[in-house]
Amino acid sequence: MSYIDELVTALGKEKVLTDPSEKYVYGADWSPRTPDEFVPPDVVVLPRTTRDVQRTIKIAYAHEVPVTAGGGLTGMLGGAVAIYGGIYLDTTTMNSIVEIDSKNQTARVQVGATLQEVNDAVQPYDLWLPHQPESKWVSTVGSAIACDNDSTFGVRYGKILNCLLSAEIVTGTGEILELGHRKAHFTSSGYKLKDLLAGSEGTLGVITEATLKLEPIPATRRVDMLVFPRMGAAVDYLNRLLKAGLCIEAAHINCKRRLKFYTHSYSLKYGRDPEIPAWAEALLAIAFAGDTEVVETQRNYALKIAKDFEAQLVEEREIVDAWWASKYTLDFEPFKQKWPDSQKQKKFGAADPGVPMGRLEEFYHKYVEIAEKHQLEIIGMNAYLEHPNSIGFSLSCAVFVDYRNADEVRRFRDFHDELSKLAVAFEGTMSTFMSDTYQKAPYLELEHGASLKYMREVKRIFDPKGILNPGKKFLREVGKK
């Protein structure tokens, strides 16, 4: 009996898609690729329960068939594309909210729930999950963990790992494990295996359920934008705010080119891009949230200090609102959503390095230089603060990619690789929100050195036959089926 027949027997035919047209649609994510570069899996499985996932993996283990788990398919670097075929496990079919514990401010969910679905469910309890990427309507809890993607509110709440208390996984042998510390916020016990899941790309196990730490919904929020003559001045300003003891909810430094990408609704309304002073090189979007009086006090203090850094407040509210619509509310005119209205010809593509705060401006100039070298249209850079109460940057170094042009897609990939490698030379990291996927696998040793060997060993413990998302993080071993 073939493994696909076994899947049908074990799960029922309604949970197993085998038609070529059905498999085809699961063959690409949000990453820049040409319309010819679909990589369909050999079969798609739609599990409803952890047991379904376990049955699937046990069959895959017996037949040594690759299993690639996916969520919203909004990955920007092909992480959930089944490059070696086999089984695509669509976790979006597992989207139940298992428990909302309002007293302890936690939620237990099946990880196919989108981040928005979780928030819709917990909002009546005056709680929210603050991990908020722009893809939150589609991005699932599982993919947020496995990809370790970005969040608008990282400087206050961190990323998904800061919200993740515990997770259930199915390992590469089909064993079900719970990793974490139940509803406790932290632990000093044992090894923190749960933390390995962040950015694991489904290579250690398929995440099936998660216990998430929720936060009270702030009563008010004020979002502002300040312009600075230099990017470094914006960094110094943020440092000053933290030294002053302010609690920043969101902070993003954009180069002036990047603003245009974020103000789609403004451009639609006025038929032109927003204007900022000619001298401004950087824009800082910053938010404070909480009780009105506290927010006003913090905001006023922040604006008072701004003068010491040659900063100027952007008075035109519609510029700020347009930016915020793009980053958070996604509240665009009906039938004119930014995606895909802003990229009908070329699509967004990015590298996602992280660099130390003192080298941000220097790195920005390198990014522009490298994009120009590869003849790519520059969108601009956004530096998100993604670590609670610290200046920890996640950089989105973006370009437009003509995805209908194979040569341009190749040049984009070269650009991505060059910037990733450069970030290591800048004493930073290659990846801060897309993970490694197959793209960075060939040169991952550059970042991790000898420790890469230990990572391989960790992978071997969880997935001895190497069936879980092969080719991601590590090049696939020669001789594998």
Partner 1 sequence: MSGLEGFKDELETCFGTSCGFCERGCPVYQDLKVKTLCMRGRNRTMLGLLQGKFEITPAVVQAAFECTLCGNCDRWCALKNTEHTQAFREFLLKHGVEPMKEHSSLALSLKNYGNPWFQPRSARNRWMKGLNIPKAAPGQHEVLFFAGCTSAVTKPLNRSLVATAKLLQKAGVKFSTMGQDEPCCGSTLLRVGQTDAFNELSAANLKKFEALGVKKIVTACPGCYTTLKKSLEGAGSKIKVTHAAQEIAQLVKDGKIKVKKSTERMTYHDPCHLGRLGGVFDEPRTIVESVATLVEMPNNRYESRCCGAGAGLQTAFPKLSKNLASKRIAEAKATGATTLVTSCPFCETQLRTIPGMKVVDLMELLLDSAQDIEKNNGQNKKTV
Residues found near partner 1 in the complex (CB under 8 A): 17, 19-22, 24-26, 28-30, 32, 35-36, 38, 46, 72-74, 90, 92-93, 95, 116, 135, 137-138, 330, 334-337, 339-341, 343-344, 346-347, 403-404
Closer to partner 1 by Cβ: residue 213 or 338:
338
Closer to partner 1 by Cβ: residue 30 or 128:
30
Backbone region of residue 158 per phi and psi (left: phi > 0; alpha: psi in -120 to 50; beta: other values): left
Task: Reduce the secondary structure of the chain to three states and give it as a string.
Answer: CCHHHHHHHHHCHHHEECCHHHHHHCCCCCCCCCCCCCCCCCEEECCCCHHHHHHHHHHHHHHCCCEEEECCCCCCCCCCCCCCCCEEEEHHHCCCEEEEECCCCEEEEECCCEHHHHHHHHHHHCEECCCCCCCCCCCEHHHHHHHCCCCCCHHHHCCHHHHEEEEEEEECCCCEEEEECCCCCCCCCCCCHHHHCCCCCCCCEEEEEEEEECEECCCEEEEEEEEECCHHHHHHHHHHHHHHCCCCCEEEEEECCHHHHHCHHHHHHHCCCCCCCCCCCEEEEEEEEECHHHHHHHHHHHHHHHHHHCCEECCCHHHHHHHHHHHHHCCCCCCCCHHHHCCCCCEEEEECCECCHHHHHHHHHHHHHHHHHCCCEEEEEEEEECCCCCCCEEEEEEEEECCCCHHHHHHHHHHHHHHHHHHHHCCCECCCCCCCHHHHHHHHHHHHCCHHHHHHHHHHHHCCCCCECCCCCCCCCCCCC
Closer to partner 1 by Cβ: residue 96 or 297:
96
Query: Smallest distance, Å, CB 10 to partner 1?
Result: 19
Residue 274 identity: P
Closer to partner 1 by Cβ: residue 151 or 298:
151
Query: Smallest distance, Å, CB 349 to partner 1?
Result: 10
Query: Smallest distance, Å, CB 41 to partner 1?
Result: 12
Closer to partner 1 by Cβ: residue 232 or 349:
349
Closer to partner 1 by Cβ: residue 79 or 174:
79
Closer to partner 1 by Cβ: residue 137 or 279:
137
Could you tell me which residues are beta bridge partners of residue 228?
Answer: 282
Query: Smallest distance, Å, CB 28 to partner 1?
Result: 7
Closer to partner 1 by Cβ: residue 119 or 298:
119
Closer to partner 1 by Cβ: residue 328 or 339:
339
